[in-house]
Amino acid sequence: MHALDYMVYAYLQLARDNDARVVIEEAAQVSGFTRNSGPYAFTAIPARYAIERGDWSGAMKLQPITNDFHYTEALTRFARALGAARSGDTAAAETEVSHLARLRDALKAAKNEYWVTEVEISRLAASAWTALASGKKDEAVKLMRSAADMEDKNEKHIVTPGRIVPARELLGQMLLELKRPGVALKEFEASQIREPNRFHGFAGAAQAAAQIGNSVKAKQYYNRLVELVGKGGPRPELEQAKTFLAQR
């Protein structure tokens, strides 16, 4: 399961979504976990598949699985919260945020400080997008920035190839939605230092650069996106990249 999670992560960065789907079907048949890497991957894989592809409806349909690790359930709760918030269902998003708080507290009681922090980052990020969906723009940015700053101080656990989505990348996406591309570009570039060669890291940076009229950086990031994907499948961001580059 550990290896399968890494494979799905890689395939999704390469826009090889069909290959990722094959791995997901394989992973869904695995059971009998005895270590934390199994339950983690089992819940992370479908969450990644939904979030990386912007399938907010699919994210909302993920079914939480309870176990003694708590933080694996939190992965699903986070995906559901983000999916609900991005779909405009603030009530559903708030419910998932409350579950994240419950799981954080359970981990705190177990004195598992690393995962307390990771789940709190997820709660802050989910709260941020819920606030944005409710029209609370300033609060949303404040919460999302708090999540990103907290994540920067917490090293990634070896059980995972990467978070479901980096908090600072999410901050960049939020700032793009709020039509603040200049600040968004800085956040995407900062995110790439810790989480390099991510599809949405390149795509977001390129979009932000293009919106502020920095065609040099936009071309640079769109080229890197196209090179990263290679012969990967179609995605809207990739088509946008090819259109931009064809005009220059």
Residue 33 scores a pLDDT above 90: no
What's the pLDDT score for residue 34? 64
Tell me whether residue 157 is exposed, middle or buried, using C-beta atoms within 10 angstroms of its C-beta: 0 to 12, 13 to 18, 19 or more: middle
* pLDDT band at residue 154 using 50, 70 and 90 as cut-offs: confident
Report domain extents, the chain: 166-248
What is the share, in percent, of the chain residues with pLDDT greater than 70?
Answer: 98
Q: What is the pLDDT of residues 87-111, one digit of tens each?
A: 999 999 999 999 999 999 999 999 9
pLDDT of residue 31: 75
Q: What is the spatial distance between Cα 127 and Cα 141, in angstroms, rounded to a whole number?
A: 10
Q: 151: closest CA among 130, 125, 173, 177?
A: 125
* Helix (H/G/I), strand (E/B), else coil: 55: coil
119-135 pLDDT, tens digit each = 999 999 999 999 999 99
C-alpha atoms less than 13 angstroms from C-alpha of 161 in its C-beta half-sphere? 20
Mean pLDDT of 7-16: 97
What tens digit of pLDDT does each residue of 181-228 get? Answer: 999 999 999 999 999 999 999 999 999 999 999 999 999 999 999 999
Q: Report the C-alpha gap between 193 and 45 in whole angstroms.
A: 24
At 220 the pLDDT is 97
The span from the CA of 167 to the CA of 36, in Å, is 23
- Looking up tokens 């989480």 gives 195
Binned at pLDDT 50, 70 and 90, residue 46 comes out as: very high
Tell me if 222 sits within 8 A of 241, measured CB to CB.
yes
Q: What is the pLDDT of residue 147?
A: 98
Q: Which residues contact 206 (CB under 8 A, 6 or more apart)?
A: 217, 218, 220, 221, 222, 225, 241, 244
**Residue 118 confidence (pLDDT) above 80:** yes
> Quick one: DSSP state of residue 64?
P
How large is the average pLDDT for residues 169-175?
Answer: 98
**The predicted structure's pLDDT at residue 67:** 85
What would be the CATH architecture of the domain defined by 166-248?
A: Alpha Horseshoe (1.25)
